[in-house]
Amino acid sequence: MELFRLILKNTLRHPLRSILTVFGIAIAISAFGLIRTVIGAWYSGVDASAPNRLITRNAVSLGFSLPLSYREAIRGIPGVADVSYANWFGGIYIDEKHSQFPQFAVDATTWYEIYPEFQLPPEQEAVFKQQRNAAVAGRKLAERFNWKVGDTIQMRGMIFPGEWEFVIRGIYTGEQKSTDETQFHFHYQYLDEKLRQTAPFQAGNVGWYVVKVQNPKQAAEVAEAIDRRFKNSLAETLTETERVFVLGFISMSETILVALRIISMVIIGVILLVLSNTMAMTARERLSEYAVLKTLGFGARHLIVFIIGESLLIALTGGLLGILITYPAANGFERAMGDAMGAIFPAFDVATSTQIICALMALIVGLAASAFPTWRAVQVRIVDGLRRVG
């Protein structure tokens, strides 16, 4: 306790310098935490992926569709528990600015069984399955447009031309915080029936299949069996785990993510320099005091505790303040992104792991910044320290 009081008094000997250093560390840590939150939000889809789900798409590109007739063939492959499918819709609601949310035409009979993390009340799911133009929206999406069950909305198709009318019959919530609550689902049959009238060449195809396997350990074997089944057909398939499928999308933004990681490391380097400069100035000013302490019987161990303790006190105080600032900073970032937020980052929260990493960074910076001043204080001879003035 006595040592802590001495460390605290030393820290407050130059209050303005210490306070400015603490605030500098806090701002840097909050910026580091915000960048880590953005990177984490980018990978939230990977974290939410299930090991027992495979994605089967056209081997050429996701832009090419697959015949609906593949469904029963895939279902018959050993190891497959269930099969569902979906198509990207790409409609415009109100205007292009308000249309940045995922819109899928799905198989209503199997979609919520294969994706149990989309929790839809049973009575709403029953109505959704019965009504052709029924739709289900995620909670965040419904709140964004103030949709309620029973509302009728209009969309203009871009990939599938025409005016499309939907009736909101359900609002799902996510099982976990990382679950995407910004999606819009409607009947694939509604899409397919209308296409058979207006654009027959687009009917009877799906964008991708979602395959639920009986045993996640057999996922690779099942994926290979599916692709082998359609090899040399007019539409060959590429089957991969849901995690790999999502990572494929993220890899398109890999350059941005690498840049963000580099910036976050630069921020840590900056706060290390700031605190190192503060501790170096402190140690240089106190060399004569350290010499006096040595003459009074204080050993190197005491000097090490004084200097490292002061450095850690400043760094951890700044780190804690920075973690607290990260929350309003993340909320401000979310508001600044506006409507685009849901489309880019379906789940955006400051994770516990981010708080831990920020605290560890503050701890490491505190230890690293005290290394040279500690070495210098221990090495200085008593006569040299007493000779110094100022």
Q: What is the pLDDT of residues 227-250, one digit of tens each?
A: 999 998 889 999 999 888 888 777
Residues 63 and 244: their CA atoms lie apart, in Å, by 18
The distance from CA 244 to its chain's CA centroid, rounded to whole angstroms, is: 16
pLDDT band with cut points at 50, 70 and 90 for residue 18 = confident
Q: Which residue has the higher pLDDT, 349 or 151?
A: 151
Mean pLDDT, rounded, of the chain: 87
pLDDT at 343: 62
Token duo for residue 336: 């600044």
Inter-residue contact 42 to 251 (CB < 8 Å): no
| H-helix or E-strand spanning residue 155 | strand 152-157
Which ranges constitute the DSSP H helices of the chain?
2-11, 15-42, 44-48, 70-75, 111-114, 122-130, 139-145, 188-198, 219-229, 242-250, 254-285, 287-295, 300-337, 340-344, 352-379, 382-387
Segment 288-305 shows an average pLDDT of 84
What pLDDT, on a 0 to 100 scale, did the predictor assign at position 99? 67
Among residues 253, 209, 241, 220, the alpha carbon closest in space to that of 75 is found at: 209
pLDDT value of position 334: 79
Mean pLDDT, rounded, for 292-308: 85
pLDDT of 46: 74
Domain extent listing, the chain: 1-46+250-387, 60-235
* pTM score of the predicted model: 0.72
How far is residue 13's CA from residue 15's CA, in Å, rounded to a whole number?
6
At 96, is the secondary structure helix, strand, or coil? helix
Percent of the chain predicted with pLDDT > 90: 36
CB 229 within 8 A of CB 67: no
Conformation bin of residue 31: beta by default, left when phi > 0, alpha when psi is -120 to 50: alpha
**Regarding beta strands 80-88 and 208-213, do their DSSP bridges make them parallel or antiparallel, or are they unpaired?**
antiparallel
Which tops the pLDDT comparison, 266 or 251? 266
Cβ(151)–Cβ(68) below 8 Å: no
Q: What is the mean pLDDT of residues 321-331?
A: 90
Distance CA 110, CA 301 (A): 68
pLDDT, position 389: 56
The answer, yes or no, to whether residue 45 has pLDDT greater than 80, is no
Does residue 40 contact residue 354 with C-beta atoms inside 8 Å? yes
- Confidence at 344, pLDDT banded by 50, 70, 90: low
Q: What one-character DSSP code corresponds to residue 22?
A: H
Return d(Cα 25, Cα 268) in angstroms, integer.
9
Tens-digit pLDDT profile for residues 83-142:
999 999 988 888 777 667 889 999 999 999 999 999 999 999 999 999 989 999 999 899
Quote the CA–CA distance of 291 and 297 in Å, as a whole number: 10
Percentage of residues in the chain having pLDDT higher than 70 = 96
Q: Looking at residue 217, what DSSP letter applies? A: G
Buried b (16+ CB within 10 A) or exposed e, 74-109: beebebbeebbbbbbbebbbeeeeebebbbbbbbbe
- CA dist 226 and 237 (Å) reads 8
Helix, strand, or coil (residue 348) = coil
Q: Quick check: 202 pLDDT over 90?
A: no
Q: Give the model's confidence band at 349: pLDDT under 50 very low, under 70 low, under 90 confident, else very high.
A: confident
Mean pLDDT of 165-170: 94
- Residue 238 tokens read as 């590429």
Q: What is the SS3 assignment for 170-203?
A: EEEEECCCCCCCCCEEEEHHHHHHHHHHHCHHHC
Residue 76 — pLDDT band, cuts 50, 70, 90?
A: very high
CA atoms within a 13 Å half-sphere pointing along the CA-CB vector of 173: 5
CA–CA separation, 337 vs 344, rounded Å?
A: 9
